[in-house]
Amino acid sequence: MELPQSLHKHFVQRGSILHSEIFEDIDHGKFFAVIGVSDDMVAGFFFINSRIHPSIQKRPAQFAMQYPLRKKDYGFLKYDSFLSATEIIKLPVSRLAETIADGQTAYAGCLTDEDLTAILEACRASDLFRPSDKRKFFY
């Protein structure tokens, strides 16, 4: 299924925050941020968590990539939370479009310009990501 241009522009762009239940390893719906979009792939899927998992606190490179998000800036959050920018998850644009069309994924909002800029700068500087992924998704 091709993603209609109007949906692509509105829902699937850098900084979009979506809520979905499509992640097999997670037993509940999760908010996540889209950080990179290429012609055929959406990447980032940095999950939003209400707290930092204790195991991450023991890993300095991953701990440094826990970006705070304030509830006052994001009406859908119940608490001040953290964007966990530690792993790039990629998904074909067409697959994400299908999950939006069938109601498994919904638009929740967009990162503030300040937060998006800070997250991209942190991602570009982090050793967690391959240079090729940085070029493709963070610039």
pLDDT score, position 5: 45
Domains contained in the chain, number:
1
Q: How far apart are CA 106 and CA 48, in angstroms?
A: 15
Q: Looking at the predicted structure, is the pLDDT value of residue 8 above 50?
A: no
* Residue 122 contacts residue 67 (beta carbons within 8 Å): yes
Q: Which residues, in sequence order, are bridge partners of residue 101?
A: none
CA distance 16 to 33: 6
> pLDDT digits over 82-139, tens only?
999 999 988 888 888 888 888 889 999 999 999 999 999 999 999 999 999 999 889 8
pLDDT digits (tens, 9 = 90+) for 56-90: 989 999 999 999 999 999 999 999 999 999 999 88
Per-residue pLDDT tens over the stretch 39-61:
788 887 899 999 998 999 899 99
Could you tell me the CATH number of the domain that includes residue 19? 2.30.30.110
Residue 40, pLDDT score: 80
What is the enclosing helix (H) or strand (E) of 42?
strand 41-49
Determine the Cα–Cα distance for residues 136 and 139; give it in Å rounded to an integer. Answer: 7
**Quick check: 2 and 12 in contact, CB under 8 A?**
no
Residue type, 119: I
- pTM of the entire structure? 0.87
Between CA 23 and CA 21 the distance in angstroms is 6
> Residue 84 belongs to what domain range?
5-137
The enclosing H or E element of 119 equals: helix 113-125
